[in-house]
Homo-oligomer: A and B are copies of this chain.
Amino acid sequence: MQKLFEYNWLVRGEWFDWCGQVPEEELTRERTGGFGSILKTLVHVVDIEHAWIRGLMGEPESHYPFEPYATLEAARKLSDEAAAEIRPFVLDWTDELDDKRMDIFTYGDIMRHLIAHEIHHIGQLSIWSRELGLKPVSANLILRGPR
């Protein structure tokens, strides 16, 4: 389980790097599908991961509004801070937690949902990247090539 979260954090960081070459107006431009814009989509995956895992940690649900994070610098800082808050829970994951329940869901299904959720949205970014004429970040988990 941890390895797929670590994969997502690695890939997400590379997408924030990728954003550095893109004019800010393209990062916030509304697009067809996804979560509306490149930055909104990235903030959305940060927010959803953070909100659900806080729930698994027994903390009250809370969501980030988008507006304060509508710049690359602010979105990246949010991502770093949100991931730092939930990373200990993810890294301490053991398979015994898989069947534990929160409401109608198992902890394991929530974790797998979050893994799939982020990879799915990153796939959307890859199309927008090609539409911008840019090479997307590799989605490979193995064979990621030179960094």
List residues of A whose CB falls within 8 A of some B CB.
3-4, 7, 32-34, 95, 105, 108-110, 112-113, 115-117, 119-124, 126-131, 136, 139-143
Chain A, interface SS category:
helix
Q: Which of A110, A123, A124, A139 has the most B CB atoms < 10 Å from its CB?
A: A123
Q: How far is the CA of A131 from the CA of B33 in the complex (A)?
A: 7
| Contact of A142 with B105 in the complex, beta carbons under 8 Å | yes
Number of copies: 2
Q: How far is the CA of A3 from the CA of B95 in the complex (A)?
A: 13
Residues of B within 8 A of A112 (CB): 3-4, 7, 141
Residues of B within 8 A of A141 (CB): 109, 112-113, 116-117
| Contact of A123 with B113 in the complex, beta carbons under 8 Å | no
Residues of B within 8 A of A127 (CB): 32-34, 124, 127-128
| Contact of B131 with A126 in the complex, beta carbons under 8 Å | no
Find the B residue at minimum CB distance from A118: B119
Q: How far is the CA of A109 from the CA of B121 in the complex (A)?
A: 21
Residues of B within 8 A of A105 (CB): 142
